[in-house]
Amino acid sequence: MDTPALALGPLLHEGKAKRLYATADPQWCAVEFKDVATASNGRRQVRLPGKGRLNCQISARLFTLLEQAGLPTHFRELVGDGWMLVRPLRMIPLEVVLRNRAAGSLLRQLPIVTGQQLEPPLLDLYFKDDALGDPFLSEARLATLKILTPQARVQLETMARQANGALHQALAGLDLDLVDLKLEFGWDASGQLRLGDELSPDNCRLWDRRQSPHSPGRSLDKDRLRQGLGGLVAAYKEVNHRIQALGLQPRSHDPGEGL
Ligand code: UDP
């Protein structure tokens, strides 16, 4: 992956798909999207050249879409190939999963058929902890962990539902069915709740409405790796190509502006 056109500070955090670096300005961090895909909680790892750049482009456009819909996110601008500048957040250790249709873990836990519509969308909270396997949180477990005040919980769930609604609607216009997605939130320096992490086919299920429901080609997301279908980078390229039709112009870094 190319290095970004700005001076990087120390590596602050390395996750499965991204690295987070400090920059010369404490107000901003740089995120590098890695050319790696993982499944089974990181136990399976595959190198996929081109994937990082695609996830960065897709995320930048979808963050821009949500910002335009009035939802605060951590995204500032694209910088180089596969990099973006973001606002540092104090992350809330929750995986917020919105489900518009039944798929994935839900099928193993409830007597429900693949693709069954969930109206209103189901919102599930998981505790973000790889060592514990990201366990599902009941109301009582959430209260025990004291992760969120009741007011912050309402704010987070409202924002998560708004993000899901806006994305579901925009993607439907591109013949992409947003089946489910995982969101992560954090607090910025001024105490504002913002959407963080990424918005890419690594973190959501997208079914191609142009393919028959039983075709393996219908999954344009990380299920291609989970199910050993192959063609993950080609699928992400197709998603990026369709999203370009939304005409969103994510901000791009101007080296003259400093950092
Ligand atoms: N997901 C994710 N990270 C996780 C777990 C799930 O991004 O650690 C996403 C996943 O890609 C899907 C949605 O959250 O879009 C719901 O995932 P599910 O609970 O069905 O679990 P999975 O089948 O992915 O194990």
Instruction: Indicate whether residue 200 lines ligand 1 (CB < 6 A).
Output: no
Tens of pLDDT, residue by residue over 42-62, are 888 999 999 999 999 999 999
Instruction: Indicate whether residue 97 lines ligand 1 (CB < 6 A).
Output: yes
Tens of pLDDT, residue by residue over 81-108, are 899 999 999 999 999 999 999 999 999 9
Residues 112 and 226 in one domain: yes
**pTM for the model:** 0.97
Residues 36 and 160 in one domain: no
Residues 58 and 129 in one domain: no
Residue 1 is predicted with a pLDDT of 59
Domain that holds residue 81: 8-89
- CATH number, domain of 105, equals 3.30.470.20
CA nearest ligand 1 atom 24, residue: 104
- Number of domains composing the chain: 2
User: Is 238 within a domain?
Assistant: no
Site to probe by mutation for ligand 1, drawn from 180, 198, 219, 227 as the one with most ligand atoms within 8 Å of Cβ, is 180
Q: What is the DSSP string of the chain?
A: -PPPSS-EEEEEEE-SSEEEEEESSTT-EEEEE-SEEEETTTTEEEE-TTHHHHHHHHHHHHHHHHHHTT--BSEEEE-STTEEEE---EE-SEEEEEEEE--THHHHHSS--TT-EEEEEEEEEEE--GGGT--B--HHHHHHHT-S-HHHHHHHHHHHHHHHHHHHHHHHTTTEEEEEEEE-EEE-TTS-EEE-S--STTSEEEEETTS-TT-GGGB-STHHHHTT---HHHHHHHHHHHHHTT-----B--GGG--
Residues 73 and 117 in one domain: no
Q: What does the pLDDT average to over 232-238?
A: 98
